[in-house]
Amino acid sequence: MKEIELKYGEARKRARLNWARSEHGKTLSKNYMKEYRGRPHVKAKYHDYYIKNKAHWGEITKAKERKAKNWGGIRQENEDIIRLHEEWARANGYRDNDLLNATNTERITKDAKK
């Protein structure tokens, strides 16, 4: 079946958005939505949503607080940990030793040949 080409689709979309942004369009939309939310079946739908999700609202606020405190965000290195690690590395010969990689490689190849 051949697709139907909609003429002036972009122009209609622009016109609809311009109308929605106008003061007259905003007031009509606001009044319609106010009347819509007052309908009984819509109130029942909102109430069901409220009952169903009320238990999770506490978790949502906790998640927002965690995000505000950057909990679980980018890890920041502790200066004391870095300092203690460097001290340990120097004491155990992992720093200031340019030949460490070469000696380890020689040791591994000797052990493999045995």
Give the per-residue SS3 of the chain: CCCCCCCCHHHHHHHHHHHHHCHHHHHHHHHHHHHHHCCHHHHHHHHHHHHHHHHHHHHHHHHHHHHHCCCCCCCCCCHHHHHHHHHHHHHCCCCCCCCHHHHHHHHHHHHHHC
Q: Give the pTM.
A: 0.40
The stretch 80-87 carries a mean pLDDT of 87
Return the ∠ at Cα 72 (arms to 71 and 74), rounded to 5°: 105
| Percentage, residues of the chain above pLDDT 70 | 86
